[in-house]
């Protein structure tokens, strides 16, 4: 009886410590991400005594730089990122991490797949430029094993996914001990540089990588990739974009560049929209249609398709 009570007490105490430890890790992460986001990379140097560095971090700063009572914003950002990397590493190692609603607990963007296996945590790198680069962490727990990817981690990686993360990650199922996901992704590279992509993520015992990727670069605002998952077991992916200097244009059948009629010259260039249609079927993606949509003078503008 006494032995059973002691065992129950030990289990209860262990669970309480684990829960408290996880709460502490999340608290530290949220604190440090707030500090990181508060630093503007082009602001004036920051007084060291107000930088909220630990004694160890300050000592490391003095070791790498000449003695100073100021720290430049990029150096301070790096110190905060180092803290965040340590917090994320500890979070990924915690056995109860997946039991929480991480989308509400963490002050960051969270993608957590519906099968409860693949986790993406991300936030803006805050470089001050128009390229909206991201700081991204990945963690996977499944039958193939546990894999993690820490920002700026050196050495061989078992996770080879996008450095700027994904907009959506959708489980597709498992085949021959390999798990598949469908993804969409978006990143703004400059004021008028937009990249969208979709494809498949493959998980095996060797790690995680993209098995298929289609990317379109464009100067145009707005979504270019439309995914229809309404069909049972299959999906259609429609891609519409305006041809410009960032992409290869599109195939338009017999219509030549600069002409609206294949056999007549002298016609002005007609605006057109590139169209591609893909089908996802049984862990494969197929291109099933390619062509152009031309402007109908009585129809809606091409930008509104």
Cβ neighbours of residue 114 closer than 8 Å, sequence gap 6 or more: 170, 171
Question: Does some domain include residue 285?
Answer: no
Residues in the chain, pLDDT under 70 = 1-20, 62-67, 230-233, 253-270, 303-305
Nearest to 158 by CA among 134, 141, 175: 141
Question: Does some domain include residue 253?
Answer: no
Question: Does some domain include residue 39?
Answer: yes
Question: Does some domain include residue 40?
Answer: yes
Question: Does some domain include residue 27?
Answer: yes
Number of domains observed in the structure of the chain: 1
| pLDDT tens per residue, range 76-92 | 999 999 999 999 999 99
| Overall residue count recorded for the chain in this entry | 305
Question: Does some domain include residue 83?
Answer: yes
Question: Does some domain include residue 219?
Answer: no
Q: What's the pTM value of the predicted model, to 2 decimals?
A: 0.83
Q: Which domain holds residue 75?
A: 10-97
Question: Does some domain include residue 119?
Answer: no
Query: CA–CA separation, 83 vs 89, rounded Å?
Result: 10
Query: CA–CA separation, 6 vs 14, rounded Å?
Result: 12
| pLDDT tens per residue, range 239-269 | 998 888 888 777 775 444 444 444 444 444 4
């Amino acid at each position: 009886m006494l032995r059973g009570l002691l065992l129950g007490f030990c289990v209860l105490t262990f669970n309480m410590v684990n829960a408290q430890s996880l709460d502490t890790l999340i608290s530290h992460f949220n604190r440090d991400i707030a500090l990181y986001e508060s630093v503007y990379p082009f602001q004036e140097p920051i007084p060291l005594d107000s930088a909220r560095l630990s004694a160890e971090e300050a000592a490391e700063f003095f070791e790498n730089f000449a003695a100073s009572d100021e720290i430049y914003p990029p150096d301070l950002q790096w110190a905060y990122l180092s803290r965040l990397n340590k917090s994320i590493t500890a979070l990924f190692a915690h056995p109860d991490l997946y039991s929480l609603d991480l989308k509400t607990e963490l002050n960051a963007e969270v993608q957590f797949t519906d099968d409860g296996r693949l986790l993406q945590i991300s936030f803006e790198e805050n470089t001050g430029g128009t390229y909206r680069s991201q700081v991204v962490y990945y963690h996977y727990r499944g039958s193939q094993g546990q894999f993690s990817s820490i920002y700026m981690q050196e050495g061989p990686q078992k996770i080879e996914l996008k450095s700027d993360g994904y907009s959506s990650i959708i489980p597709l199922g498992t085949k021959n001990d390999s798990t598949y996901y469908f993804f969409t992704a978006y990143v703004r590279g400059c004021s008028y540089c937009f990249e969208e992509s979709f494809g498949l993520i493959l998980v095996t015992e060797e790690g995680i990588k993209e098995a298929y990727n289609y990317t379109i670069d464009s100067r145009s605002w707005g979504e270019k990739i439309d995914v229809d998952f309404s069909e049972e077991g299959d999906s259609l992916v429609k891609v519409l974009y305006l041809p410009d200097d960032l992409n290869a244009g599109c195939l338009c059948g017999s219509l030549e560049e600069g002409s609206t009629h294949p056999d007549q010259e002298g016609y002005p260039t007609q605006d057109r929209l590139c169209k591609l249609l893909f089908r996802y079927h049984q862990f494969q993606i197929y291109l099933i249609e390619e062509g152009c949509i031309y402007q109908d003078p009585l129809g809606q503008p091409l930008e509104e398709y």
